[in-house]
Amino acid sequence: MKPAPFEYRVPDTAEEAVALLAELGDEAKAIAGGQSLVPMLALRLAAFGHLVDLRRLDELRGIEHQGQAVWIGAGTTQAAIERSDAVRTAVPLLARATPLIGHFQIRSRGTLGGSLAHADAAAEYPAVALTLDAGLEALSPRGRRTIPAARFLTGTWSTALAEDELLTGVVFPARNGRCGFAVEEFACRRGDFAIAGAAVAVGLGDDGTIARCAIGLFGLGPTACRAAEAEAALVGSEPAEAEADDIGHLAMSGLDSVPSDLHGSAGYRRRVGAAVVARAWRHAVQEAVHD
């Protein structure tokens, strides 16, 4: 199928882009790499009168290590993130999640901001941003603001971004102290969206106990989410005291909207989810202990 007719707009600056979004309202849609939007348009699952192309906006691309944080422009491709030594060193969870996204052809066009703004419940980047407590920078005609990742995802394919607001960059906390990270997922085929996935970040205090624990889940609800009950139970404990399988089951206990579809029932997804959480926990703790 072919998309419904639309007008193609190519702004030269981010300010010009948000002005267009404000002027055109819900008839306009920003497009970056187009890896999610173009198939939806082609299948006529979505239709817009105007597409605002962001590819000329160099200000939305780049990776900068800024003290205790790493800034990544929303227009930075997933392939650039995958190749970045700075990301691999300072934000290892993001680096490890990136190769799981689709195939290399998709990653060469797909962008960080596009994935986050699309907010697919089974996507890796929203879960990583949530797990790392990233800050998402947005621009509108009213100015700039930073949206905490915990408040960014509002539902299936929906975010806290207003219609005239553009995601411009993401700030990730840089790796600091004794910590470990892991991401695990299960998909029918390599490159498919995950049936269930988990991103885990663990930080140890000076006494060797767990000072910080974050468990992000994806493919297990309408949005990526955190396993808050499991996290709370782990903080302050010794890493050796936590049984990985128990953590996996505890992470599933707080979920009340696990989907059921052709790829698996809700019960199946819960079992897979518990297994990938347990696997990610083992890897993250092992890295933290030996850091």
Supply the mean pLDDT for the chain: 95
Element (H or E) spanning 214, and its range? Answer: strand 210-218
Phi, psi of 26 (to 5 degrees): -75, 0
The predicted pLDDT at position 200 comes to 98
Could you tell me if 159 and 108 lie in one domain? yes
Residues 205-211 have a mean pLDDT of 96
Residue 111: CA count within 13 A, CB half-sphere: 27
Q: What is the largest CA-CA distance in the chain?
A: 62
239 lies in some domain: yes
Could you tell me if 192 and 163 lie in one domain? no
Domain membership of residue 39 as a residue range: 7-53
Residues 176-198 have a mean pLDDT of 94
Could you tell me if 166 and 230 lie in one domain? no
Whichever domain contains 31, its CATH number is 3.30.43.10
CA dist 136 and 157 (Å) reads 16
Residues 88-105 have a mean pLDDT of 96
Q: Quick check: 10 pLDDT over 70?
A: yes
Model pTM score: 0.95
248 lies in some domain: yes
SS3 state of residue 196 = strand
Q: Choose the final residue of a domain: 130, 148, 173.
A: 173
229-270 pLDDT per residue, tens: 999 999 999 998 889 999 999 999 989 899 999 888 999 999
Q: Quick check: 3 pLDDT over 90?
A: no
Q: Choose the final residue of a domain: 36, 53, 70.
A: 53
Domain count for the chain: 3
Q: Are 201 and 227 in contact (CB under 8 A)?
A: no
47 lies in some domain: yes
Q: What's the pLDDT band for 96 if we cut at 50, 70, 90?
A: very high
As a whole-number percent, the residues of the chain with pLDDT over 70 amount to 100
48-94 pLDDT per residue, tens: 888 999 999 999 999 999 999 999 999 999 999 999 999 999 999 99
Q: Quick check: 1 pLDDT over 70?
A: no
Could you tell me if 48 and 116 lie in one domain? no
